Structure 1
Amino acid sequence: MAASPPPSRPPRPPHPSPPSLSPRSPLSSSPSLSSPPSPSSPPSPSSPPSPSSPPSPSSLPPIRGAVAHHSGYGHTARQAAALAEGAESVPGVLADLLDVTVLDDALWAALDAAETITFGSPTHMGSTSAAFQRFAEAGTPVWAARGRQDELAAGFTNSAGVNGNKANALLSLTVFAAQHGMTWVPLGLAPGWIYASDGSPEELNRLGGFVGATARSPSDLGPEQAPADSDLRTAHHRGARVARAALRQALGRAAMEVAA
């Protein structure tokens, strides 16, 4: 809230006129001095308006998030579902699961309505899948119009290998979001499991990523058996963290509107 301007300084009273002296007889009489005018009273400053109560999460409309993903065999889809559950564990946040291989009006409308988008793709040949890339390139008109500017973004990926160059897939998602002018929310977890000699594969972020959530699904296991529970819990954390960031952003915007 802008501070009230200080009151204007009252005008300085004029100096009294000098006495009239008779020529060559300065001491013949005592001239009377006129009294200076009384200064006017300064205007009293107006009382600043009392600040309004800050907005609370319950005062906001629901925040919509989108989990825009491609899944080749169903493993990445399980990651996406766990992430959406994490987002909706934050009161006031809703999450839409969106399959980016269906490039229809409903997909673009859901993305336009979202305040945060988490992108997901399996890691194929060290990068995002061709299906996800088709979606990315189909959104060029949105990019040209800066339709995602300043929205929140995040990412996740899955592959059969422990490494599999998943980091490169996540960086591809990060660059994609940056092209749209979005603000990336990192995973926000310390590395688990093999980071320490006594680590456990049941720990969150067991694969030690920082940019986004990673998961491993062995090539001989179907989506009913993989990813591991710790990877799904990591995805759940990923969703909740993005949702909390979106809630803070919405509260900040509401507070600025109140102050204005």
Structure 2
Amino acid sequence: MKRVGVVYHSVSGCSKVLAESVVEGVNTLEKCIGVALEIQGESIRHGRYEDQSLLAQLDQCEAIVMGSPTFMGTVSAQFKAFMDAASERYGDRCWLDKLAAGFTVGSNFSGDQLGTIRTLQVFAAQMGMLWVPLDILPSQDSLGRNRGGCQSGLVAVAEGAGEIHQLDRLTAVHLGRRVAGLALRTSDFRTALLD
């Protein structure tokens, strides 16, 4: 079984809905299992993220999908604390060549969510990961997915506390399925590189 970790921070419940939808997409493929891993504020002490068990679970994943609400044009402070803690894995390259993708949610269509996606992309690049973008042409999708038009990652708009538009949810399901499918296709490549 290929494991896809979906690590996220949620304040209003919107990022949690998206994370669960990504996991749903991963689990549509027989040989993949999605695991939702929530970053809890209680795991941050004196500004440092301390949940080593969550990080260890991500070490065992073939792919990692990251999600955070957009606050002031970037990831939440809690998600940034997680990123800083995960950077301890930079030197030993244990996330090297893992697949990575990202999602975010903001309060409106022009809420600088792309800044959050870019932050996740740069973090993935620092860790030596391979970024998976969306592959949905927004104006040509018969289901209307990727309504925000962002190709770099999933950008959603909150409909209210814990409420996500159905099309954003469907886009998250698609992203999970896409990452899982690529994890299945690239696992031999990654194994060969690590040998």
> What is the TM-score with the length of structure 2 in the denominator?
0.89
Alpha-carbon distance in structure 1 between the residues aligned to 2:151 and 2:92: 30
Give the counterpart of 2:23 among 68, 76, 84. Answer: 84
Alpha-carbon distance in structure 2 between the residues aligned to 1:106 and 1:80: 19
The reply to whether residue 72 of structure 1 matches residue 19 of structure 2 is no
Work out whether residues 4 and 35 of structure 2, in 8 Å CA contact, stay in contact via their aligned partners in 1: yes
Which structure's CA Rg is the greater one? Answer: 1
Give the counterpart of 1:248 among 179, 185, 193. Answer: 185
Give the counterpart of 1:211 among 152, 165, 171. Answer: 152
Name the counterpart of 2:172. 235
What's the CA shift for 1:222? 2.1
The reply to whether residue 116 of structure 1 matches residue 39 of structure 2 is no
Name the counterpart of 2:46. none
Alpha-carbon distance in structure 2 between the residues aligned to 1:167 and 1:141: 26
Give the counterpart of 1:104 among 42, 51, 64. Answer: 51
The reply to whether residue 172 of structure 1 matches residue 109 of structure 2 is no
The reply to whether residue 147 of structure 1 matches residue 94 of structure 2 is yes
* Greater CA drift, 135-144 or 79-88: 135-144
Q: Structure 2: which 5+ runs fail to align?
A: 44-49
Q: Structure 1: which 5+ runs fail to align?
A: 1-61
- Paired AA for residue 102 in structure 2: G
Higher normalized contact order (CA 8 Å, seq sep 6+, divided by chain length): 2
**Structure showing the higher helix proportion among its residues:** 2
Alpha-carbon distance in structure 1 between the residues aligned to 2:161 and 2:80: 24
What's the CA shift for 1:100? 2.3
Cα RMSD of the aligned pairs, angstroms, is: 2.0
1:187-226 alignment, distance < 5 Å:
187-192=134-139, 203-218=144-159, 221-223=160-162, 226=163
SS in 2 for 1:156: strand
Q: Percent identity?
A: 36
Alpha-carbon distance in structure 1 between the residues aligned to 2:122 and 2:161: 30
Alpha-carbon distance in structure 2 between the residues aligned to 1:89 and 1:125: 34
SS in 2 for 1:139: helix
Work out whether residues 62 and 187 of structure 2, in 8 Å CA contact, stay in contact via their aligned partners in 1: no
SS in 2 for 1:64: strand
